[in-house]
């Protein structure tokens, strides 16, 4: 089993280049934080507890701290995913997508 675990880790490390991985990670972090705000029960309990410890009056700083916590969690070699995928559903993701806005507050353009 150890040999299989090593092979899985090799594939994880080599499948996506670093640039693409950072883009994917950015999106995952945004989704996890959105769920933490809107449906916290689907966020893995230890990660949720960590995010709940962030306390600052500066919302930008709080968001950056939470981003950092999620990034470290996802990049660590944990066995549990950051979300309970059984309790999360397509509708949650659709709502997340509809909540996305550009920096000017407008909805993203259509393609």
| pLDDT tens-digit profile, the chain (111 residues) | 888 888 888 777 776 677 878 888 999 999 999 999 999 999 999 999 999 999 989 999 999 999 999 999 998 877 889 999 888 889 999 999 999 988 888 888 765
d(CA 13, CA 95): 31
Distance of CA 73 to the CA centre of its chain: 9
What is the value of pTM for the model shown?
0.79
What is the model's pLDDT at position 107?
A: 85
Residue pointed to by tokens 């944990």:
78
Pairwise CA distance, residues 14 & 24, whole Å = 15
Q: What is the dihedral of CA 13, 26, 97, 32, to 10 degrees?
A: 80
- Nearest CA-CA partner of 48 in 58, 60, 63, 37: 37
At 110 the pLDDT is 66
Residues 6+ apart with CB under 8 A from 99: 34
Which neighbouring-strand residues pair with 43?
A: 83
- State residue 78's pLDDT score: 75
């Amino acid at each position: 089993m150890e040999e299989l675990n090593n092979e899985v880790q090799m594939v994880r490390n080599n499948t996506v280049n670093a640039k693409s991985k950072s883009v994917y990670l950015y999106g995952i972090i945004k989704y996890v934080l959105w769920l933490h705000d809107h449906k916290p029960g689907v966020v893995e309990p230890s990660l949720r507890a960590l995010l709940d410890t962030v306390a600052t009056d500066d919302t930008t700083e709080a968001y950056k701290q939470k981003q950092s916590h999620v990034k470290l969690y996802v990049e660590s070699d944990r066995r549990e995913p950051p979300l309970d995928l059984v309790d999360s559903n397509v509708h949650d993701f659709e709502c997340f997508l509809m909540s996305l806005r550009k920096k000017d507050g407008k909805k993203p353009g259509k393609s």
